[in-house]
């Protein structure tokens, strides 16, 4: 069964100055130590003809009413606590249209877009105006006839919230009156080729205590004392978040991923995590065989709302809603499986290990305890100390993996059909960030790397090779 989404927007508050407290996570992500943003990139199927006045009208009528935070800045109250304060928005300050010469080669336009994406990824958000921007590139590239790039500060909300906001600005290209539908999140009913994470003979309570103790202890150590090895995916240089980045993408068939999922009795998330881990290890080993077993940890982002699919903005904006707007996620430390010399023997082990770790997490309270620990640090030492803790957690690991679902149908923005869609988290103190988003039966894996340290084209090739290895192994099992 596909999930559906029908979003309608309206003003939630009068057009006046209103102050609301900034959530703890919002304070962490916009602090002296951290400034993390999300880039949402829409690839237009046709040249972008919308002018500034038309863009301003779209933002004024559709985007700003979604949430008061899009019309607010962060300020400190008399007690020094950060608040969202409503301000008058000068839309011209938020719209950017780069001026590029006509008649250049496609390779030149690709290079210009690549450098422009790097530029806006590295720029800090001005704190004297609402924390978002819109960039329109009206020149063609090999991927699209034009691009619409939303830059949104992570303090505004997490991927779930921001994706819901973005989708509310878009319509179904075939029939705007119909709701968007999304791929099913349900796993296959019975795993066949991958063992269950928790033996049935172990009492659930004891298993929960054991898993919680191990996972939470490991998380604390990784967030404070133990850092990953310096490897081809981790430069370990100081202030890596200030280094230039390069963003590229790999496209995989969602239908083929589902075939693997069905055969293995896994989830799409299990399969994707296994592909990313295997591809990463292939890249590391291609750089040097000794890196196939180096200590490397991924932070996998989990949506803590415990719901399936997106909800209406009306429901997300309710104060007591369990789907409420904001940053409702947690980090899960996952060690990258080692890569043996005889990889071809069983590449499915990478999915097996990913599934075991993720399923074990469902029988562990480590994520809850980690959140409570962070809140204790904030209450005792302040939000800046908590932000420092998160910064160290990210810096000590090698990569972050984030996965979201997108619509099955093609969407359009102001009558511009959207050919492709992906997102990237920037400002993270890591050399490698991977995000995954489905759209129109295609999975787009976006890879953000530290320039000069990771060869992104070679890395992408390793991801594609990992997919082929896993697909062939899964289909071979289906024929047996």
pLDDT per position as a tens digit, 197-210: 445 545 667 778 87
- For 435-458, how does the pLDDT look when each residue is reduced to its tens digit (9 = 90+)? 999 999 999 999 999 999 999 999
Same domain, 288 and 172: no
Same domain, 118 and 170: yes
Same domain, 175 and 209: no
Same domain, 136 and 240: no
Same domain, 101 and 238: no
Same domain, 114 and 245: no
Tell me what pLDDT residue 325 has. 52
Task: State the DSSP code for 452.
Answer: T
pTM (2 d.p.): 0.86
Spatial strand order in the sheet of 171-172: 95-96, 132-137, 146-153, 37-44, 416-426, 411-413, 171-172
Tell me what pLDDT residue 318 has. 53
The verdict on residue 464 lying in a domain is yes
Read off the CATH number of the domain in which 149 is found.
Answer: 3.30.559.10
* Polymer length in residues for the chain: 480
The verdict on residue 225 lying in a domain is yes
Same domain, 154 and 275: no
Tell me what pLDDT residue 362 has. 66
Question: Measuring CA to CA, how many Å separate 221 from each of 237, 296, 431?
Answer: 20, 14, 21
Same domain, 305 and 243: yes
Same domain, 162 and 221: no
Structural domain count of the chain:
2
pLDDT lower than 70: segments of the chain: 1-18, 184-204, 302-329, 341-345, 362, 477-480
Tell me what pLDDT residue 391 has. 93
Domain carrying residue 360: 204-406+428-479
The verdict on residue 221 lying in a domain is yes
Tell me what pLDDT residue 284 has. 93
Tell me what pLDDT residue 213 has. 85
Read off the CATH number of the domain in which 221 is found.
Answer: 3.30.559.30
Tell me what pLDDT residue 353 has. 83
d(CA 354, CA 267): 10
The verdict on residue 1 lying in a domain is no
Same domain, 173 and 228: no
The verdict on residue 283 lying in a domain is yes
The verdict on residue 399 lying in a domain is yes
Domain termination residue (choose one: 148, 182, 216): 182
């Amino acid at each position: 069964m596909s999930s559906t989404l029908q979003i309608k927007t309206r003003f939630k508050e009068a057009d006046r100055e209103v102050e609301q407290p900034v959530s703890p996570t919002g304070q962490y992500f916009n602090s002296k130590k951290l400034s993390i943003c999300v880039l949402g990139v829409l690839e237009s199927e046709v040249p972008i003809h919308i002018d500034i006045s038309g863009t301003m009208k779209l933002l004024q009528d559709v985007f700003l009413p979604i949430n008061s935070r899009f019309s607010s800045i962060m300020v400190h109250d008399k007690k020094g606590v950060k608040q969202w304060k409503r301000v008058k928005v000068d839309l011209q300050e938020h719209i950017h249209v780069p001026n590029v010469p006509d008649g250049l080669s496609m390779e030149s336009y690709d290079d210009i877009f690549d450098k422009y994406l790097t530029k806006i990824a590295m720029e800090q958000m001005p704190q004297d105006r609402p924390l978002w921007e819109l960039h329109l590139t009206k020149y063609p590239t090999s991927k699209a006839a034009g691009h619409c790039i939303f830059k949104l500060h992570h303090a505004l909300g997490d991927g779930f919230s921001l994706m819901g906001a973005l989708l509310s600005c878009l319509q179904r290209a075939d029939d705007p009156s119909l709701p968007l539908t999304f791929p099913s999140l349900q796993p296959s009913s019975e795993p066949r080729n991958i063992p269950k994470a928790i033996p049935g003979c172990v009492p659930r309570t004891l298993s929960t205590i054991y898993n919680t103790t191990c996972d939470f202890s490991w998380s604390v150590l990784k967030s404070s004392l133990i850092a990953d090895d310096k490897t081809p995916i981790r430069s370990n240089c100081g202030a890596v978040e200030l280094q230039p980045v390069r963003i590229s993408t790999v496209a995989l068939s969602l239908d083929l991923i589902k075939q693997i999922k069905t055969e293995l009795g896994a989830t799409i998330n299990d399969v994707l995590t296994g592909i990313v881990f295997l591809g990463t290890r292939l890249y590391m080993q291609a750089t040097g065989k000794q890196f196939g077993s180096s200590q490397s940890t991924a932070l996998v982002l989990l949506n803590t709302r415990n719901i399936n699919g997106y909800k209406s903005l009306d429901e997300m904006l309710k104060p007591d809603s369990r789907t409420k707007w904001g940053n409702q996620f947690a980090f899960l430390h996952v060690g990258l499986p080692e890569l043996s010399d005889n990889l071809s023997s069983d590449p499915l082990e990478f999915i097996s290990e990913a599934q075991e770790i993720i399923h074990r997490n469902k029988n562990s309270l480590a994520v809850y305890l980690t959140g409570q620990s962070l809140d204790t640090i904030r209450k005792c030492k302040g939000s800046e100390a908590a932000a420092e803790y998160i910064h160290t957690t990210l810096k000590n690991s090698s990569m972050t993996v984030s996965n979201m679902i997108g619509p099955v149908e093609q969407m359009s923005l102001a009558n511009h059909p959207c050919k492709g869609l992906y997102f990237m988290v920037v400002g993270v103190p890591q050399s490698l960030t991977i995000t995954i988003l489905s759209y129109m039966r295609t999975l787009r894996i976006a890879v953000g790397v530290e320039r000069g340290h990771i060869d992104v084209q070679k890395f992408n090739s390793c991801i594609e090779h990992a997919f082929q290895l896993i697909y062939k192994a899964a289909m071979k099992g289906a024929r047996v």
